[in-house]
Amino acid sequence: MTTELAATPAPTRIGPATFAWGQRTFVMGILNVTPDSFSGDGLLTAADRADPVERAVAQARQMIAEGADLLDIGGESTRPGHEPVDAATEIERIVPVIAAVAAALPNTPISVDTTKPAVAEAALAAGAHLINDVWGDSADGGMMAAVAAAQRVPLILMHNRSEPRYERAVAAEVLNDLTRAVERAIAAGVPEVDLIVDPGIGFGKTADHNVELLRDLRQLRALGRPVLLGTSRKSTLGRILDLPADQRLEATLATTALGIAAGVDIVRVHDVQPNVRAARVADAIIRGRWRADLSGATP
Q: Beta 130-133 vs 110-113: how paired, if at all? A: parallel
Q: Where exactly are the structural domains of the chain?
A: 26-286
Predicted TM-score (pTM) above 0.85: yes
Beta-bridge partners for 115:
none
Beta-bridge partners for 297:
19
* Percent share of the chain, pLDDT over 70: 88
pLDDT of 297 over the 60 cut: yes
Whether the CB-CB separation of 196 and 12 falls below 8 Å is answered with: yes
35 vs 177: which has the higher pLDDT: 177
Listed residue (5, 9, 7) closest to 218, CA to CA = 5
Query: Any idea what DSSP says for residue 18?
Result: E
- Report the distance separating Cα 232 and Cα 240, nearest Å: 14
**pLDDT at site 278:** 98
pLDDT, averaged across the chain: 91
The CATH superfamily assigned to 26-286 is Dihydropteroate synthase-like (3.20.20.20)
pLDDT of 239 over the 90 cut: yes
Catalytically annotated residues: 234, 268
